[in-house]
Chain A
Amino acid sequence: MGRWGYVGMLAFTVAGSSWLEIAFSVRVLRRSVRAFQAILPIALPFLTWDALAIRHHDWFFDPHQILGIYGPFQIPAEEYLFFLVVPIAAIMTLEAVRQVKPHWLIGDEAREDEK
């Protein structure tokens, strides 16, 4: 795998989740603005945490198993992609569960709005 080691994990996550968009009609990618609005405010504190942990060497990356592209705060590009790919996969999973079990309310159904 070499430098594609971390990218491989991201590709696996994309492959394992993206088919839900079609098979379960989860419509997460089609609602990408809402997805982005849900991910960004949460990802920011986690990226701050990531930056501080990297600075303090709480965790570190094998430079031979990542692409070697770094974003702000010395965070590898793969980490930034992680905070996009993993949350989208989770949203797709929740929406797929909703498709299978529509009677399990998740909290944004019209009826709950009236409460």
Chain B
Amino acid sequence: MSYTITAVIFVFASALFDITVTKVRLLKRRAFWTSYAIILPFQLLTNWWLTSRNIVMYRGGAILGIRIAAAPIEDILFGFALLLGVLSLWVRLGRRS
């Protein structure tokens, strides 16, 4: 479950980053969740491509074993944490200009 645990930690870290570091609070914004709703199907599709074709493979012990569109559920957390962090910082950087 090392991937599972790290993924959950990264989601919390990104949320904390958004709330306390950038203070953008994307998590409370409709534009963020709308963007994520647009991105998520594409993420599932690209995850499916990479995992169903065994381009990327996972050690059984590293994941829970719950799969969505062929990909470990942890991949969704990974993507969410990455995008929340980047988008929050992107918006924060826009405040200066």
Contacts and interface: CB of A to CB of B under 8 A. Distances in A.
B62 A59 contact: yes
A34 B93 contact: yes
B82 A46 contact: yes
Contacts of A49: 6, 10
A83 B82 CA distance: 9
A30 interface: no
Residue from A58, A60, A107 having most chain B Cβ neighbours under 10 A: A107
A56 B2 contact: yes
A91 B90 contact: yes
Contacts of A1: 53
Interface in A5-30: 5-6, 8-9, 12-13, 16
A42 interface: yes
Interface residues of B, number: 44
B54 interface: yes
Interface residues of A, number: 47
B82 A66 contact: no
**What secondary structure prevails in chain B residues at the interface with A?**
helix
A38 B86 contact: yes
A62 B57 contact: yes
B31 A59 contact: no
B11 interface: no
Nearest to A13: B46
Interface of B: 2-3, 6, 10, 13, 24-26, 29-32, 34-35, 38-39, 42, 46, 49-50, 53-59, 62, 78-79, 81-83, 85-87, 89-95, 97
Given A90-B35, A106-B29, A107-B91, 10 more contacts: A13-B46, A65-B55, A87-B86, A90-B39, A101-B34, A104-B31, A106-B32, A108-B93, A108-B95, A112-B95
Interface of A: 1, 5-6, 8-9, 12-13, 16, 34-35, 37-39, 41-43, 45-46, 49, 53, 56-62, 65-66, 83, 86-87, 89-91, 93-94, 97-98, 101, 104-108, 112-113
